[in-house]
């Protein structure tokens, strides 16, 4: 009885405090090693591409197969496991936000924010597909596998983040 | 493992990541942007620690002949693609993880970024269907293809096979380099604390 109470209190406490990101990322890294041994390392871009294909197929039907990309690189398949990592992250974050009472619908306030988010989102989508990898597979997959692609991707993302930060700084300074 | 088993495992893993990232406020964009703009390393340190654990874990399993390393040819498209991605994530204020996590918290801006990521991917599929670059995985050989700006496929597993050196040796070297960067950040932070 007392043990259950203690466990219950510590779970509630978990959702009250902000977790140290070093601890959170260490746990994620251990889980990622299990995933790597079972099916493959953590990645997000592949699942997002497959979702794009599935959504495009729902809208365009058989017309989509006229685009070689969707035959030769990503053939739409709802059984692609990487999709479910992203859906899991959405679900986990929703549960975390509800239990910590941090869930609330919020919108970007200014038009400039909507524009920046739109341009940024487009660039992320194009960049992921051009590179075949996203930031997650760069830092949590390729590079820990000592893959040359990881080092190439890291050099690209650092240069991109620096350029983006300079643009962002200019915008902040007006 | 069956397809359903893989999907369930991926969902459980994703859910755990979603909760942990939501509770810790970790952000990959901030790990790079804050280090560059504000010299703040809260997220950078977490990223480095995770990379150290992963490097050792992955390379130990690769040495034992286990694990599922990614296998495809790499080239200049990784540099250019992630350069474009890097600018995009700073402008959008979110990366691939935080778009999903913030959407789960009710952030419509993150959902909007996600929507435009999908649109960007679809636009890329139109361009690719015209110029076929970078090469499709089915046409990759693992060897350099300089005409297509591809350097082939090199990772801890191929290095182990080619040179007979256990993958974990490369893992130890990389972990030490990451630890050196981590230590340099800690030193920088302690100097700044003293100055304050």
* Complex ipTM value: 0.95
Residue A40 in domain = no
Q: What DSSP state is assigned to residue B147?
A: G
Q: Do A125 and B84 touch (CB under 8 A)?
A: no
Helices B28-37 and A148-173 pack at an angle, to 10 degrees, of 60
Which of A11, A17, A25, A41 is the best substitution to test chain B (most B C-beta atoms within 10 A)? Answer: A25
Closest partner CB to B14 (pick from A24, A55, A88): A88
Q: Do A84 and B32 touch (CB under 8 A)?
A: no
Position B1 scores a pLDDT of 87
Residue A73 in domain = no
Residue A94 in domain = no
Residue A18 in domain = no
For strand B74-75 and strand B150-152, is the pairing parallel, antiparallel, or unpaired? antiparallel
pLDDT tens-place values along chain A, 174 residues long: 666 666 666 777 888 889 999 999 999 999 999 999 999 999 999 999 999 999 999 999 999 999 999 999 999 999 999 999 999 999 999 999 999 999 999 999 999 999 999 999 999 999 999 999 999 999 999 999 999 999 999 999 999 999 999 998 898 787
Which of B3, B12, B18, B64 is the best substitution to test chain A (most A C-beta atoms within 10 A)? Answer: B18
Q: Do A123 and B154 touch (CB under 8 A)?
A: no
**Tokens 């096979």, located at residue:** B161
* Partners of residue A93 in chain B, C-beta under 8 Å: 18-19, 21-22, 100-105
pTM of the entire predicted model: 0.94
The token pair at A59 is 């809208």
Neighbours of B131 (CB within 10 A): 7
* Partners of residue B86 in chain A, C-beta under 8 Å: 127, 156-164
Q: Does A23 touch chain B (CB under 8 A)?
A: yes
Q: Tell me: cis bond preceding B134? Omega within 30 of 0 counts.
A: yes
Residue A57 in domain = no
Q: What DSSP state is assigned to residue A133?
A: -
Residue A1 in domain = no
Closest-CA residue in chain B for A159?
A: B83
Q: Which domain holds residue A128?
A: 106-174
Position B117 scores a pLDDT of 98
Distance CA B87, CA B29 (A): 10
Q: Does B115 touch chain A (CB under 8 A)?
A: yes
In whole angstroms, how far apart are CA B147 and each of A11, A107, A155, B90, B150?
56, 46, 22, 32, 8
Q: Which of A129, A59, A151 is nearest to B170 (CA)?
A: A151
Checking if the pLDDT of B179 tops 90, the result is yes
Q: Do A24 and B21 touch (CB under 8 A)?
A: yes
Residue A3 in domain = no
Distance CA A125, CA B19 (A): 24
Residue A33 in domain = no
Position B154 scores a pLDDT of 93
Q: Which of A118, A166, A165 is nearest to B29 (CA)?
A: A165
Q: How many domains is chain A partitioned into structurally?
A: 1
The answer to whether A42 touches B69, Cβ cutoff 8 Å, is: no
* Partners of residue B107 in chain A, C-beta under 8 Å: 106
Per-chain mean pLDDT for chain B: 95
């Amino acid at each position: 009885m007392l043990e259950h109470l203690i466990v219950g209190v510590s779970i509630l406490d978990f959702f009250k405090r902000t977790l140290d990101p070093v601890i959170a990322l260490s746990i994620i890294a251990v889980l990622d090693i299990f995933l790597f041994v079972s099916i493959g390392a953590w990645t997000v871009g592949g699942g997002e591409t497959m979702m794009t294909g599935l959504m495009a197929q729902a809208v365009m039907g058989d017309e989509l197969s006229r685009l070689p990309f969707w035959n030769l690189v990503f053939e739409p398949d709802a059984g692609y496991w990487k999709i479910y990592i992203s859906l899991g992250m959405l679900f986990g974050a929703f549960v975390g936000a509800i239990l910590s009472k941090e869930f609330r619908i919020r919108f970007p306030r200014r038009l400039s924010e909507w524009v920046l988010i739109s341009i940024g989102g487009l660039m992320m989508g194009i960049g992921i597909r051009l590179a075949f990898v996203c930031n997650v597979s760069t830092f949590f997959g390729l590079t820990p596998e000592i893959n040359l692609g990881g080092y190439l991707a890291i050099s690209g993302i650092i240069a991109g983040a620096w350029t983006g930060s300079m643009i962002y700084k200019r915008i902040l300074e007006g | 493992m069956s397809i359903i088993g893989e999907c369930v495992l991926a969902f459980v893993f994703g859910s755990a990541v979603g909760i942990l990232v939501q509770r810790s406020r970790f952000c990959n964009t901030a790990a790079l942007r804050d280090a560059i703009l504000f010299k703040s390393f809260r997220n950078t340190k977490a990223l480095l620690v995770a990379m150290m654990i992963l490097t050792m874990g992955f390379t130990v399993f690769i040495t034992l002949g286990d694990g599922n390393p990614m296998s495809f040819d790499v080239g200049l498209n990784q540099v250019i693609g992630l350069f474009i991605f890097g600018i995009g994530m700073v402008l959008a204020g979110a990366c691939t993880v935080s778009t999903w996590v913030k959407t789960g918290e009710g952030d419509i801006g993150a959902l909007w970024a996600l929507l435009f990521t999908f649109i960007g991917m679809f636009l890329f599929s139109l361009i690719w269907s015209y110029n076929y670059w970078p090469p499709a995985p089915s046409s990759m050989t693992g060897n350099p293809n300089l005409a297509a700006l591809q350097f082939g496929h090199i990772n801890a597993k191929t290095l182990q096979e080619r040179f007979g050196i256990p993958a974990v040796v490369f893992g130890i070297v990389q972990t030490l380099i990451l630890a050196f960067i981590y230590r340099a950040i800690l030193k920088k932070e302690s100097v700044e604390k003293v100055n304050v």
